[in-house]
Structure 1
Amino acid sequence: MRLVRLRAPGGLDRLDLVEEDPPQPSPGDVMVRIRACSLNMRDDFAVQGKTKLADRRVPLSDGAGEVIAVGSKVDALKPGDSVVSVFYPRWLDGDMTPATRRDIPGESFDGFASEYVCMPAQAFTKAPAGYTHGEAAALTCTGVTAWRGLVVSGKVRPGDTVLVLGTGSVSLFALQFAKAAGARVIATSSDEEKLERLSRLGADAVINYKAVPDWSRKVRELTDGRGVDHVIEVGGPATLAQSIAACRTGGHIALIGVLTGFAADVSIPAIFSNQIRISGISIGSRADQEDMIRAIDVNRIKPVIDRRFPLREIAAAFTHYAARKHFGKVCLEV
């Protein structure tokens, strides 16, 4: 079988396409023919050596394909099932603990840039009905993150107003989930073409944050001075203060991304005097993923795919992703 191994973290030139014997399932495992993967920021960090990663690791945390064989103790999945990977295979339900966040595919063990994988059955869920493998592979990290931030932690309700920042996959999923929940969405971007695409995707109002640097004031204007109920905060230090200013009293911020860095100066009184609730979101549980997929099936939501690359062009896929010009997910076909 073909797979990609990272010779050593530290650069795209260290991604090697190699041939190895396929694995065999143990009694609790499923063997999956991986058909597609998708890229995330933490995959880029791992490949570039910004996280701790063992040499010769198979990268990528998100994968989808069909079950080829199952172990003797597996009854939830069967050969022929279309499946999608779970980001935290040990986090089945409830709140995260140090134990449940311990194992991550593509980091602590081999990921999905491989034609075949054998993993415990709990490392997968069934894919949404009618999804291609590429669409399913888009869900694991960013889809579940948006779902947990908006639905599980945010408890979005019909009539709420949701602010999404930028056009990354988390923001696009959050836009779609918010509209399915009956919420109003305000979206930002610095690109007029992307703003038009956000409107076509369902955004009720859009703001060019380069043309309107004080975009939190504009958000206030669009909500008659009240502020939004939810912010999907993916920017980090450069955007957090304005996200706080854009929130209504008692509003919720799902703190997800670090696109602009890792440390921020924020006004503590602005948080407590306005009773703003900030939730740190790190993907979600297997149960969150299953709940999300049920909602996707009912509402017929489809992820936005920017571009697909063959597995042999994984370095080109990372280069395209790192340029941050994409709109939606960057995927690999395996």
Structure 2
Amino acid sequence: MTWLVILTHESGVFMRSYFIDHYGGIDGLCLRETDAPKPPGPGQVLVRMRAAALNFRELLILAGHYQQMCKPDLVPCSDGAGEVVAVGEGVLRVGTGDRVALTFHPHWIAGEQPQGLAILGRGGSVDGTLSEYACVSQDEVVVVPQHLSFEEASTLPCAALTAWSALCAHGVLLPGQRVLVQGTGGVSVFALQLAKLFGAEVVALSSSPEKLSRLRQLGADHLIDYRVHTDWHKQVLACTGGQGVDLTVEVGGGDTVERSVQATRVGGRVSMVGLLTGSPGFSEGFFYRGLSINTIRVGHREQFEQMNRAIALHRLRPVIDQVFDFDNAPEAFTHLQQRKHVGKVVIRIN
């Protein structure tokens, strides 16, 4: 049977998965052999995972920041893509052989964020993607654009969808409008790429000439080194004729949000994506400027499918910094922790 073509061991059929053995850092990752999934039941699909992509939140989870919110004996990583190798009775959304990604929020299909949403999603509230196989509901998978490799497709569920939601889930982004992106992490790079699909003018911040050069290659219209220009909001105003941007994709949190407010035009929008430097506090300037603040919780499956159509139409390719083998997964986390990457760090599973 298809689901038995996994690994044969003298004690039976098994697969390999990473678990969080203990919290406190990357050394808490533990690779184990476990029983292979049972044949998928009604409405379920068995996915052979081919790649998983890392997000900064994985480091926070490993460090124990959200330990009380995580399921016990957790398989980490929210992002992953693979191939459907078996389907249960009544499955209509996908078929054997389809190339799919797993959704970040298993039960958020469409509409407004539901009450009681488990905000940690996959790789936090439920097991993640750093495993050779996953058996999930058919509602938790999305067919990925055919022009993408498994490694590229694995980057979409969290980082890409977060960027898409930041740009257009709470307002219309029109051609010619201006967008500010911060840094070279996965969400920021996707926000740059996707904003260019909308025909936007993009102002990009980063910390080195090398990274800024890469952002220029990806389409950034204005580049600002925030280490040189610590009051970078003034540079944003200067390159937008004193007006500010229409939308800021804010990933920093407490240390950067006030400058983001000052860099955004009167009546503009700030999409709050990350809290890398803690929770923000808003000054009087936020109220005087009449800004709209939207917190981004990745997005739902319908938005994922909308984004995939845009990616397929424009044949957009995610930016991958480096790919690591499954056996070397801890090295991938270490590489991410060093914050020298541009785009996504990916683990090839099989």
Tell me, yes or no, whether TM beats 0.5: yes
- CA–CA separation in structure 1 for the residues paired with 2:119 and 2:90: 24
- CA–CA separation in structure 2 for the residues paired with 1:103 and 1:261: 17
**8 Å contact kept, 1:44–1:318:** yes
**Aligned to 1:222, which of 239, 253, 256?**
239
- CA–CA separation in structure 2 for the residues paired with 1:250 and 1:123: 37
Give the AA of the match of 1:19: E
Q: Does 1:293 align with 2:314?
A: no
| Aligned match of 1:81 | 98
- Give the direction of change, closer, same or farther, for the CA distance of 1:103–1:274 in structure 2 (3 Å limit): closer
**8 Å contact kept, 2:119–2:297:** no
Between Structure 1 and Structure 2, how many residues are aligned?
332
Report the alpha carbon displacement of residue 238 of structure 1 after superposing the two structures with TM: 1.2
Report the alpha carbon displacement of residue 198 of structure 1 after superposing the two structures with TM: 0.4
**Aligned to 2:137, which of 120, 123, 126?**
120
Give the AA of the match of 2:267: G
Q: Trace 1:7-18 onto structure 2 (pairs within 5 A).
A: 7-18=21-32
Q: Does 1:266 align with 2:290?
A: no
CA offsets 1:163-207 (integer angstroms, 9 cap, x no match)? 101111111111111111011001011110000010010001100
| Aligned match of 1:314 | 329
Report the alpha carbon displacement of residue 48 of structure 1 after superposing the two structures with TM: 1.8
- CA–CA separation in structure 1 for the residues paired with 2:255 and 2:171: 22
More moved, 217-226 vs 16-25: 16-25
Report the alpha carbon displacement of residue 109 of structure 1 after superposing the two structures with TM: 2.2
**8 Å contact kept, 2:50–2:132:** yes
CA offsets 1:74-119 (integer angstroms, 9 cap, x no match)? 1110000000010001100011023443672222222111111100
Gaps of 5+ in 1: none
Gaps of 5+ in 2: 1-14
**8 Å contact kept, 1:83–1:125:** yes
Report the alpha carbon displacement of residue 121 of structure 1 after superposing the two structures with TM: 0.7
| Aligned match of 2:173 | 156
**8 Å contact kept, 1:8–1:54:** no
| Aligned match of 1:20 | 34
- CA–CA separation in structure 2 for the residues paired with 1:100 and 1:259: 22
**8 Å contact kept, 2:118–2:125:** no
Report the alpha carbon displacement of residue 286 of structure 1 after superposing the two structures with TM: 0.6
CA RMSD of aligned residues (A): 1.3
TM-score, structure 2 as length reference? 0.92
Q: Trace 1:71-220 onto structure 2 (pairs within 5 A).
A: 71-101=88-118, 104-220=121-237
**Aligned to 1:48, which of 39, 42, 63?**
63
Runs of 4+ aligned structure 1 residues displaced above 3 Å come to 99-103
- CA–CA separation in structure 1 for the residues paired with 2:119 and 2:205: 34
Report the alpha carbon displacement of residue 30 of structure 1 after superposing the two structures with TM: 0.4
Report the alpha carbon displacement of residue 154 of structure 1 after superposing the two structures with TM: 3.6
- CA–CA separation in structure 2 for the residues paired with 1:124 and 1:256: 23
More moved, 279-288 vs 307-316: 307-316
2:276 partner SS: coil
Report the alpha carbon displacement of residue 273 of structure 1 after superposing the two structures with TM: 1.8
Among the aligned pairs, what percent are the same residue? 43
Give the AA of the match of 1:322: Q
- CA–CA separation in structure 1 for the residues paired with 2:42 and 2:90: 5
Give the AA of the match of 1:7: D
Report the alpha carbon displacement of residue 134 of structure 1 after superposing the two structures with TM: 0.7
- CA–CA separation in structure 1 for the residues paired with 2:192 and 2:98: 29
- Give the direction of change, closer, same or farther, for the CA distance of 1:124–1:34 in structure 2 (3 Å limit): same
1:20 partner SS: strand
- CA–CA separation in structure 1 for the residues paired with 2:116 and 2:231: 42
CA offsets 1:179-238 (integer angstroms, 9 cap, x no match)? 110110010111100000100100011001111111111111111111110001001111
**Aligned to 2:249, which of 219, 224, 232?**
232
Report the alpha carbon displacement of residue 58 of structure 1 after superposing the two structures with TM: 1.1
TM-score, structure 1 as length reference? 0.96
1:91 partner SS: coil
- Give the direction of change, closer, same or farther, for the CA distance of 1:217–1:102 in structure 2 (3 Å limit): closer
